[in-house]
Amino acid sequence: MQQLIIAEKPSLARNIVAGIGTMKRCDGYFEGNGYLVTWAFGHLYSLCDIEDYTGPTASGRWSLENIPCFPNEFRFKMRSDKKTGQVDAGVKKQMEIITALCNRPDVEGVINAGDADREGEIIIRLCIKHALQSKKRLYRLWLPDQTPQTVAQALKELKEAASYDRLADEGFARTYIDWLYGVNLTRYATLKTGTLLRVGRVIVPIVKAIYDRDMAIRHFVPDTYFAMVSKEETDGHEIELVSKKRFKKEEKKKAEELCRKYNETGAVVTAVKNKKDTLKPGKLYSLSKLQNVLGKKYKMSMEDSLQLVQGLYEKGFLTYPRTNSEYLATAEKEKIAKIIENFASIGYPVTMKEDKTIFDDSKIESHSALTPTYKIPKKEHLSEEEFKVYQTVVRRFAAVFCSEPCVAQKTEITVSVGDLESFTLKGTVILQAGWTRFDDTATKNKLLPPLMKGQVINTAFAPKEKETSPPKHYTIETLNNYLKNPFRQEKSAAENEDDTEEYRAMFEGLELGTEATRTGIIENAIHSHYIALNKDVYTILPDGEYLIESLIRMGISMDKYQTSKLGQSLKKVYRGEIGVQDCIALAETEIAEVFKPKEEPPETDTDMGFFGDEAGVCPLCGQSVVRSKYGYRCTGYKDGCHFSVSASICGRVISLANVRLLLSSGKTAEIQGFISKNGKPFKARLCLQQGRAVFDFQTPQSSTLSGA
């Protein structure tokens, strides 16, 4: 009797074969030593389309006829060619091979060898579900890396497939709710605007984060202020003292007077502290922390870095990359000790450590931190980019397990200006390099002048005009940090600070996307021309602005709060606190709200209707005015008619109902919620004047017309 192993990809199948030993190559599978090994090509099945549940619409195009669609039971179909719509021939053939092997009489058990994550779990489960025609024992092969030794050991430690049911439940729940949001809201938003808008549970809050940041930068008005700064030499060393006190632009004289007082009082060194300290290295890498470093140092996009690290994993040089942890499991100590021994043999001064800052089971959800394996490549066998990635991981690993500590002298000098203000100067000098020889993100030396307690410091305080700075654009690092916990205040955190809160938030599902999906979603936003990545800086593009502003006008809230709420429900599925159906029901309730008719009075109505809806007759040429991409436009524009009404005026969406009133009676209702240039809310009617929509401010005494 034999065991059938179904790998997620051909490359994984080959590595499994290497761990088993000599096997015979057959058409679409390997055989030998009591095993059959075959493979998928990633996803062989995808969720059915809406029309597979409802049938085609009357027009054959997207329509409100069949949305929202909430299937009673989600169905899958074999992957099709996107251009022809036909089932992919290669997929069909491989699935026939998998089916034949699953049902061979000599196969007593089927082993799921998907990648060690949620997606890999359900990819192979779907293959088995569609292939297996009789009851057989099901197992899971869980591989933290793809070296032959790990494969051989994992085959001895197979678990029943049911042990991973909760992981599968979370994977399926995630797939279902992403489908519900994606197909229903993408179609709805596209029908509303007449433009294809990709609306997804995670892509929208990512684009919105970049949109909000760029709008804050665009509308930032710098504030001028005066700071008190002294930059004078004392014994040949320039010493800069910057007061924490700020003065408004009109308070320059006040600043000058206080500067004079500081200079008259004089500055004295009141304390000098020198302390030897042992500096700790940074933590091992999670995927996003590695991508942060590669993006900052090499301007490497998240997609490029993920492909490279995935390739190194498939070659057996790195452990599983899609991990959100920077810690190792205590059960891995023996394996890590062997890797350390291997690196020590080629000249790395590393030694086994069992610190809680390295091994901590409480901070591991599914996978440990990224590390090298015992299998060490030769430089000439890697591309230049692969070598950069591999070396980055190896250097951090070597720094963490370095046998030689990093010893530094920390100096803190306090300079006091009487009892008016004290200034603290800090510096660090590395006395013993230790792990800093490997990790080039280490603390840099900062020398301070050799000042002594009681020494008088020359000062020349003077007001220096400065401007407040706008927020900074998101970078690969800062966006990644935001997505891991969008509710944490942005800061430059020290690597060795207490990260308990960060891991708690992550395991509760507060993050936007996951380590496994985030890179692909960001790349999708780039390919959709919603955002741009230049070097390592993200910016919003016009199509991204249109997406977010259109969703705001439609009242579709896909913000971090809603996405995190769904993320938390997915984690509850993983923990067995709720079922898959509970998670689906939550998503369906949120989506159904979007489709509910909004019965608002014209004064507060913001519903713009759907693209192509008729609003009335053009007051200039008599042709139809219809809902367009950016508002309402006369269909006679091709003949030269320029009549239009903007979608938004003074920060207020103009509803279809109000435009219909405008065109039928010459006046809208008194619309509430306009915002003036100085930020004050006001209400007004729009009226027609010489073929233009203008404000009509009415009071009991007078009527004032103003251009809208």
Which residues, at least 6 apart from 26, have a Cβ–Cβ distance to it below 8 Å? none
Q: Is the pLDDT of residue 493 over 80?
A: no
| Residue ranges with strand state E in 373-519 | 406-417, 421-432, 456-457, 462-467
| SS3 at position 294 | helix
Contact 342, 372 (CB under 8 A): no
Give Dmax over CA atoms of the chain in angstroms: 97
Distance CA 499, CA 436 (A): 22
- Alpha-helical runs (H) found in 284-327: 287-298, 302-314
Distance CA 548, CA 559 (A): 10
pLDDT over 70 for what percent of the chain? Answer: 97
Confidence band for 491, pLDDT divided at 50, 70 and 90: low
Q: Is the pLDDT of residue 517 over 80?
A: yes
For residue 612, the model assigns a pLDDT of: 95
| Overall average pLDDT of the 289-309 stretch | 96
| SS3 at position 693 | strand
Q: What is the dihedral of CA 242, 243, 248, 249, to 10 degrees?
A: -30
Distance CA 286, CA 305 (A): 13
Query: What rounded mean pLDDT belongs to the chain?
Result: 93
Q: Could you give the C-alpha distances from 704 to 472, 555, 663, 697, 700, in angstroms and in order? A: 43, 32, 20, 5, 11
Written as one letter, the residue type at 140 is: R
Q: What is the pLDDT of residues 622-673, one digit of tens each?
A: 999 999 999 999 999 988 999 999 999 998 999 999 999 999 999 999 999 9
Stated length of the chain: 708
Strand-pair partners of 228: 463
Question: Which residue, among 21, 34, 20, has the nearest Cα to 154 in the 3D structure?
Answer: 20
Distance CA 391, CA 375 (A): 14
Contact 332, 249 (CB under 8 A): no
Element holding 687 (H helix, E strand): strand 681-689
Confidence band for 504, pLDDT divided at 50, 70 and 90: confident
Q: Is the pLDDT of residue 708 over 70?
A: no
Burial class of 83 by CB neighbour count within 10 A (0 to 12, 13 to 18, 19+): exposed
DSSP conformation letters of 643-686: -EEESEETTEEPPHHHHHHHHHHSB---EEEEE-TTS-EEEEEE
Element holding 515 (H helix, E strand): none
DSSP conformation letters of 152-185: HHHHHT-EEGGGGHHHHHHHHHHHHHHHHHHHHH
Contact 229, 102 (CB under 8 A): no
Q: What is the pLDDT of residues 548-595, one digit of tens each?
A: 999 998 988 878 888 888 999 999 999 999 999 999 999 999 999 999
Q: Is the dihedral of CA 296, 297, 300, 305 positive or negative?
A: negative
Distance CA 111, CA 140 (A): 5
Place of tokens 């003949």: 639
Confidence band for 505, pLDDT divided at 50, 70 and 90: confident
For residue 95, the model assigns a pLDDT of: 97
For residue 380, the model assigns a pLDDT of: 92
Question: What Rg do the C-alpha atoms of the chain give, in angstroms?
Answer: 32
For residue 495, the model assigns a pLDDT of: 60
Cα angle 516-521-526, degrees, rounded to a multiple of 5: 140
- Alpha-helical runs (H) found in 324-381: 333-344
Q: Is the pLDDT of residue 707 over 60?
A: no
Distance CA 199, CA 205 (A): 10
Confidence band for 500, pLDDT divided at 50, 70 and 90: confident
Q: Is the pLDDT of residue 705 over 50?
A: no
The 10 Å Cβ neighbour count of residue 470 is 14
Q: Is the pLDDT of residue 468 over 80?
A: yes
Confidence band for 703, pLDDT divided at 50, 70 and 90: very low
Entry pTM? 0.91
| Overall average pLDDT of the 424-451 stretch | 87
Q: What is the pLDDT of residues 5-40, one digit of tens each?
A: 999 999 999 999 999 999 999 999 999 999 999 999
Which residues, at least 6 apart from 360, have a Cβ–Cβ distance to it below 8 Å? 327, 328
| Overall average pLDDT of the 307-323 stretch | 96
Poorest-confidence range of 37-51, 76-90, 669-683?
A: 76-90
For residue 496, the model assigns a pLDDT of: 59
Question: Which residue, among 179, 188, 182, 176, has the nearest Cα to 67 in the 3D structure?
Answer: 188
- The pair of structure tokens assigned to 355 is 């610190």
DSSP symbol at 547: H
Contact 695, 685 (CB under 8 A): yes
Q: Is the pLDDT of residue 490 over 80?
A: no
Distance CA 200, CA 178 (A): 7
Confidence band for 442, pLDDT divided at 50, 70 and 90: low
**Helices 203-218/476-484 angle, 10° precision:** 120
Which residues, at least 6 apart from 419, have a Cβ–Cβ distance to it below 8 Å? none
